[in-house]
Structure 1
Amino acid sequence: MESMQIGRAKLTWLNGGVTHMDGGAMFGVVPKPLWSKKYPVNDKNQIELRTDPILVELDGKRLVIDSGMGNDKLTDKQKRNFGVKEESNIDRSLDELGLTRGDIDYVLMTHLHFDHACGLTMWDGEQLVPTFPHATIYTSETEWDEMRNPNIRSKNTYWEQNWKPVVEHVHTYDKSIEVLPGLQMVHTSGHSDGHSIILFEDEDETFIHMADIMPTHAHQNVLWALAYDDYPVTSVHEKQKWMGFGYERKAWYVFYHDAHYRALKFNENGEVMNSVKRQTYSYED
């Protein structure tokens, strides 16, 4: 597992599974000859997208950013359509760190689409229960409202099985919330109406998790919005705002979906200064 220290925060990437989504949809109106130079694509026009939660250890607390693909939540057809070749192995990842799911204090949900939220609940026999039994789950009020009352389009990604078992654990906010000193969730809209980013500032050290406004390193261009975005123009404006903010501070950008990089640091001109590459490994014995 890859780990890094950013100010007071230690970040470790857990194994949350993988999807393979249509490359055209992931890059919207951008022509394939352009985006395929920046991110590998298979013969089905799919790109590999990890769903790996980020464990943040900060001030004696343990937080998880997004929850992974979970286990046994998708039908065989869904697994095929979404290219889910590997489900979550959160328990194994945490065990290697000497932790369990019960040690997680907070879960920070940037949004609640199935590929981020399936890991919030798990099967206990024939009943779904919270995966992180002692954790408070933070998400924006707008996102939580749509999760429970999806529209004709969003009902395909907001699933009842991912929210009903955790109702008592959810804490919502309007525009932003400071979860711990220096660590904020900021409601941006864009990818979904309730989408949020995560910002951490500790003196001269900063990291930003742009979630699905910039799901991979190949989405750095502020104009490259996803066809999946509910409000693509908002995504563009918010990305422009937060990329400028991060470039000025030489911030680390950390990823949940990127199959090649865990984190990148850019200078004031948007050029890569440093990187943490994803290691390839298997949990098969």
Structure 2
Amino acid sequence: METLQLTNSKLTWLNGGVNHLDGGAMFGVVPKPLWIKKYPCNENNQIELRTDPILIQMNGVNLLIDAGIGNGKLTEKQKRNFGAQEEAKLEESLAKLGLSLHDIDYVLMTHLHFDHACGLTKPSGSEYVPVFPNAKIIVNQIEWNEIRQPNIRSKSTYWKENWEAIAWQVEVFEKEWSMGNIKLIHTGGHSDGHSIILIEDGGHTVLHMADIMPTHAHQNVLWVMAYDDYPMNSIAAKQKWLQYGLDRNAWFTFYHDAYYRAVKWDHEGKLTESVHRER
């Protein structure tokens, strides 16, 4: 498992599963001859996208960024359509660190689309139960409202199986939630309630831009997904926070990237440091 050590906290990437989505949808209006140079696709035009939660260990507290694709949640048709070739192995990942699902204190949800939220619950008989029974689940108020009352477009990704069993664990915020040196900040864009995560720790800055910059290949502020509900909001937030990070020599971390866990860029956009994903 890849790690990133800061001054007072440590990030570890867990195995949350993988899916393969259409490259055209993931890069929106960007022509394939451009994005294919930065991120390869298979014969079906699908690109590999991890769904790997990031464990943050800080002062004895265990936090997760998002929850993975889960286990036993997808039908065979969904697995085929989403290219979900591997389900989560969170228990195994945590066990290697001497932890269990019961040791997670907080789950910081950037948003609640299925590929981020399926791992919050698991089937148990005819019901669903929480995967992290001792955790507080932090999510933006708009996002929480949306998953409970999805519209004609969003109902394909906001599923009751992912929220009903954990409703009692949810703690909502409007603009910002913080604990110690970690902040969850509402941006909108990809979804109306989408949020990013900022860690400022002893001279280190980490920005987790979630799905407004899902991979290193989405560095260009105009390269946003066709999946984004409010693409101009994605672009505005990406401009703001990318500049914020570049000015502070920040690490940019990824949940979906199949090649990099974290990168640093200079102001000219050149890669200066990276944490590669072991393949």
Q: Which category of TM-score, normalised to the shorter sequence, fits these structures?
A: over 0.9
Aligned twin of 2:35:
35
Alignment of 1:112-123 (within 5 A): 112-123=112-123
Shift of 1:3: 1.0
Distance 2:8 2:215 in 1: 25
How far the C-alpha of 1:124 sits from its partner, in A, is 2.4
Cα RMSD (Å): 0.8
Distance, in Å, in 2 between the alignment partners of 1:7 and 1:183 is 13
Number of aligned residue pairs: 279
- Give the match's secondary structure for 1:207: strand
**Partner residue, 1:274:** 273
Comparing 259-268 with 62-71, greater Cα deviation is found at: 259-268
Equivalent AA in structure 2 for residue 60 of structure 1: G
- One-letter identity of the residue aligned with 1:221: N
| Equivalent residue runs for 1:1-285 within 5 Å | 1-178=1-178, 180-280=179-279
The alpha carbon displacement at 1:132 in A equals: 0.3
Q: With the length of structure 1 as denominator, give the TM-score of the two structures.
A: 0.97
Deviations 1:68-119 (A, max 9, x none): 0001111111100000000001010011111000000000000000000000
Q: Distance in 1 between matches of 2:8 and 2:240?
A: 25
Aligned-residue offset at 1:203 = 3.3
Task: Give me the whole-angstrom Cα distance separating, in 1, the residues matched to 2:64 and 2:34.
Answer: 34
Say which SS state the counterpart of residue 233 (structure 2) adopts: helix
Deviation at 1:60, TM superposition (A): 1.1
5+ residue gaps, structure 1, are 281-285
Contact 2:8–2:202 (Cα < 8 Å) also in 1: no
Query: What stretches of structure 1 move > 6 A for 4+ residues in a row?
Result: none
Kept after mapping to 2: 8 A contact 1:111/1:196? yes
Alpha-carbon deviation of 1:202? 1.7
SS at structure 2 position matched to 1:274: strand
| Corresponding residue number in structure 2 for 1:283 | none
In 2, Cα distance between equivalents of 1:268 and 1:42: 32
5+ residue gaps, structure 2: none
Deviation at 1:6, TM superposition (A): 2.0
Counterpart CA distance in 1 for 2:268 and 2:176 is 28
* Distance in 2 between residues matched to 1:213 and 1:7, nearest whole Å: 27
Whether the aligned pair in 2 keeps the contact of 1:141 and 1:194 (CA below 8 Å) is: yes
Amino-acid identity (%): 61
Please give the per-residue CA displacement for 1:222-272, whole angstroms capped at 9, x wherever unaligned: 000100000001101110100000000000001000000000012233321
Instruction: Find the aligned partners of 2:7 and 2:116 in 1 and give their Cα distance.
Output: 26
User: Aligned to 1:85, what secondary structure does the other structure show?
Assistant: coil
CA distance in 1, matches of 2:215, 2:261: 9
Residues 188-225 of structure 1: per-residue CA shift (max 9 Å, x gap): 00000000000001232010000000000000000001
Instruction: Write the deviation string for residues 115-162 of structure 1: whole angstroms up to 9, x where unpaired.
Output: 000000012233211100000000000000001000000000000000
What is the CA–CA distance in structure 2 between the aligned matches of 1:87 and 1:236, rounded to whole Å?
Answer: 31
Distance in 1, matches of 2:43 and 2:177, equals 43
Distance in 2 of aligned mates of 1:266 and 1:97: 30
- Tell me, yes or no, if the aligned pair for 1:6 and 1:207 is still in contact at 8 Å: no
Secondary structure at 1:139 match in 2: strand
